[in-house]
């Protein structure tokens, strides 16, 4: 069974949409929709028939929009969103469609929810000086969406894409071939159809700027003042479970993240084998779903002499479990050699856990001086860092008093919306 704890795009989308929905209680900005055959359809809460359950929307004026195309089955990220925001009768029907969630301005939302006719007449009124923004929040890596974005732009809208990373370009050997093709093909075309890009870290934004310089002539790039970034937040419960599902007697190091090549679990296991060979009393707990190209490593783990003893693999941890696992860990380890952000860093910070990171630019940006660092290509470097943490009275996490070193998801979402507003109102400088 795959874990419901995903530290990738799905987790980000779920968290941002949850906070956006909370904001919607006052601002009334968000409407669930379906994307089907190039059209957007508004979803009612309790549909009786397909005709009564949807309204065709000819690309209305929006503030924010999340969309995921289905290719034969519902994606994990979409399951999260639909389960949280749509009632069961509607969820059952939506599974047959290419689904999306749309977030619109308050005036449009009032218009579409107050009327029963299936078609919304243009123009949709907006406030003076307001430029509607279409935010592609999820991994919308399918060319069909560009038809919709062009129609939106033709109506005076601003289209902003979220870039999580450029790993399929920089490390193609670490991602599934179908993902690599979808991602690279989409982003090779995206500058023609996007007005701005917002990344999940400054490191990714810098990488995107350099990538554009190599990839396109100057007049075909998204201008640098139309490229920004925001930081992700932590959503773990503030208190841990008194009776936790996972409790370990021995000290342990914790790794949270799907098991795939770029996450570098193999190097972490090498480092722990070095420690175990020296008699160091520390376990390794790995929380994550089996990702692409993980078969060999999973086999290595499950046939390891320490599997189930000092090597623990968990796939069914929820957020409450994670809060406990972080809080009880001696150290949280982030060994990736390629990342867009590093959610496990901020989650560990929230729980007051010591953090060790591979020495890559994005981790330096996110963790700063509050973590220890090691080479992502040297198991001995990590083993020494873990040993130093265990023998030192001073933790790498250096938080003074009550000062926080992470954003909440509410703060992250607010930051995202504020920076999108700045992008939409900045004059393009090509």
Yes or no: say if 363 and 345 are a contact pair by the CB < 8 Å rule.
Answer: yes
Do 122 and 29 belong to one domain?
yes
What is the average per-residue pLDDT within 79-94?
37
CATH number at residue 324: 3.40.50.2000
Do 96 and 208 belong to one domain?
yes
Q: Which residues are CB-neighbours of 52 under 8 A, at least 6 positions away?
A: 44
Q: Is the pLDDT of residue 103 over 80?
A: no
35-39, 129-133, 216-220 — which one is most confidently predicted on average? Answer: 216-220
Query: What percentage of the chain exceeds 70 in pLDDT?
Result: 67
Structural domain contains residue 3: no
Neighbours of 336 (CB within 10 A): 26
Task: Domain count for the chain, please give it.
Answer: 2
Do 19 and 76 belong to one domain?
yes
Yes or no: say if 177 and 215 are a contact pair by the CB < 8 Å rule.
Answer: no
Q: Is the pLDDT of residue 46 over 70?
A: no
What distances in angstroms separate CA 122 from CA 276, 344, 353, one per listed residue?
Answer: 68, 45, 53
Structural domain contains residue 277: yes
* Residue 304 CA, distance from chain mean position: 32
Do 330 and 274 belong to one domain?
yes
Check residue 357 and give its pLDDT: 97
Structural domain contains residue 240: no
pLDDT band at 118 (very low <50, low <70, confident <90, very high): very low
Structural domain contains residue 321: yes
Do 199 and 53 belong to one domain?
yes
Structural domain contains residue 246: no
Check residue 82 and give its pLDDT: 36
In 3D space, the residue among 165, 166, 223, 215 whose CA is nearest the CA of residue 189 turns out to be: 215
Check residue 131 and give its pLDDT: 66
pTM of the model: 0.80
Q: What is the pLDDT of residues 232-287, one digit of tens each?
A: 998 788 766 555 678 888 999 999 999 999 999 999 999 999 999 999 999 999 99
Do 183 and 51 belong to one domain?
yes
What is the average per-residue pLDDT within 298-321?
94
Do 328 and 263 belong to one domain?
yes
Check residue 13 and give its pLDDT: 75
Structural domain contains residue 265: yes
Do 207 and 304 belong to one domain?
no
Check residue 106 and give its pLDDT: 56
How far apart CA 327 and CA 193 sit, in angstroms, is: 44
Do 143 and 218 belong to one domain?
yes
Structural domain contains residue 197: yes
- Counting Cα atoms < 13 Å in the Cβ hemisphere of 15 gives 26
Do 224 and 132 belong to one domain?
yes
pLDDT band at 296 (very low <50, low <70, confident <90, very high): very high
Do 77 and 194 belong to one domain?
yes
pLDDT band at 152 (very low <50, low <70, confident <90, very high): confident
Q: What is the pLDDT of residues 204-236, one digit of tens each?
A: 999 999 999 999 999 999 999 999 999 999 878
Check residue 37 and give its pLDDT: 55
Query: What percentage of the chain exceeds 90 in pLDDT?
Result: 47
Check residue 235 and give its pLDDT: 79
Check residue 27 and give its pLDDT: 60
How far apart CA 90 and CA 202 sit, in angstroms, is: 39
Q: Domain span at residue 387? A: 252-399
Check residue 243 and give its pLDDT: 53
Do 111 and 179 belong to one domain?
yes
pLDDT band at 61 (very low <50, low <70, confident <90, very high): very low
How much is the mean pLDDT over the chain? 76
Better-scored residue on pLDDT, 25 or 341: 341
Which of 112-116, 239-243, 378-382, 413-417 comes out lowest in average pLDDT?
Answer: 112-116
What is the average per-residue pLDDT within 71-75?
33
Structural domain contains residue 103: yes
Check residue 156 and give its pLDDT: 75
Q: Is the pLDDT of residue 1 over 50?
A: no
Q: Where are the beta strands (DSSP E) in 189-275?
A: 196-199, 227-229, 233-234, 252-256
């Amino acid at each position: 069974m795959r874990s419901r704890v995903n530290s990738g795009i799905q987790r980000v989308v779920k968290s941002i949409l949850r906070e956006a929905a909370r904001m919607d209680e006052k601002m009334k900005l968000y409407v669930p929709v379906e994307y089907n055959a190039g059209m957007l359809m508004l979803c009612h809460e309790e549909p009786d028939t397909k005709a009564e359950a949807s309204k065709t929307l000819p690309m209305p004026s929006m503030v924010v929009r999340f969309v995921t195309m289905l290719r034969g089955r519902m994606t994990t990220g979409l399951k999260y969103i639909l389960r949280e925001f749509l009632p069961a009768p509607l969820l059952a029907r939506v599974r047959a469609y290419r689904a999306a969630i749309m977030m619109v301005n308050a005036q449009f939302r009032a218009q579409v929810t107050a009327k029963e006719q299936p078609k919304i007449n243009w123009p949709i009124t907006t406030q003076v000086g307001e430029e509607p923004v279409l935010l592609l929040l999820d991994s919308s890596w399918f060319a069909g969406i560009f038809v919709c974005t062009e129609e939106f732009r033709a109506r005076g809208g601003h289209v902003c894409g979220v870039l999580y990373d450029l790993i399929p370009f920089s490390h193609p050997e670490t991602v599934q071939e179908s993902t690599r093709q979808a991602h690279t093909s989409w982003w090779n075309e995206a500058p023609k159809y996007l007005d701005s890009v917002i990344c999940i870290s400054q490191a990714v934004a810098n990488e995107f700027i350099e990538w554009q310089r190599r990839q396109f002539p100057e007049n075909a790039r998204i201008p640098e003042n139309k490229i920004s970034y925001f930081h992700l937040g932590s959503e773990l419960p503030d208190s841990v479970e008194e009776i936790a599902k996972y409790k370990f007697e021995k000290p342990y190091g914790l790794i949270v993240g799907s098991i795939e090549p770029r996450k570098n679990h193999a190097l972490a296991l090498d480092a722990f084998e070095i420690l175990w060979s020296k008699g160091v009393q520390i376990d390794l707990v790995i929380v994550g779903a089996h990702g692409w190209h993980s078969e060999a490593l999973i086999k290595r783990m499950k046939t390891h002499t320490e599997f189930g003893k000092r090597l623990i693999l968990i796939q069914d941890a929820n957020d409450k479990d994670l809060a406990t696992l972080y809080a009880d860990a001696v150290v949280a380890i982030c060994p990736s050699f390629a990342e867009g952000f590093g959610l496990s860093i901020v989650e560990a910070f929230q729980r007051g856990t010591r953090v060790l990171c591979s020495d890559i630019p994005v981790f330096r940006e996110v963790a700063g001086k509050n973590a220890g660092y090691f080479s992502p290509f040297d198991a001995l470097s990590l083993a020494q860092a873990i040993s130093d943490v265990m023998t030192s009275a001073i933790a790498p996490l250096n938080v003074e008093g009550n000062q926080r070193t992470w954003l909440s998801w509410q703060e992250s979402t607010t930051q995202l919306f504020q920076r999108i507003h700045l992008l939409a109102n900045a004059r393009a400088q090509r």
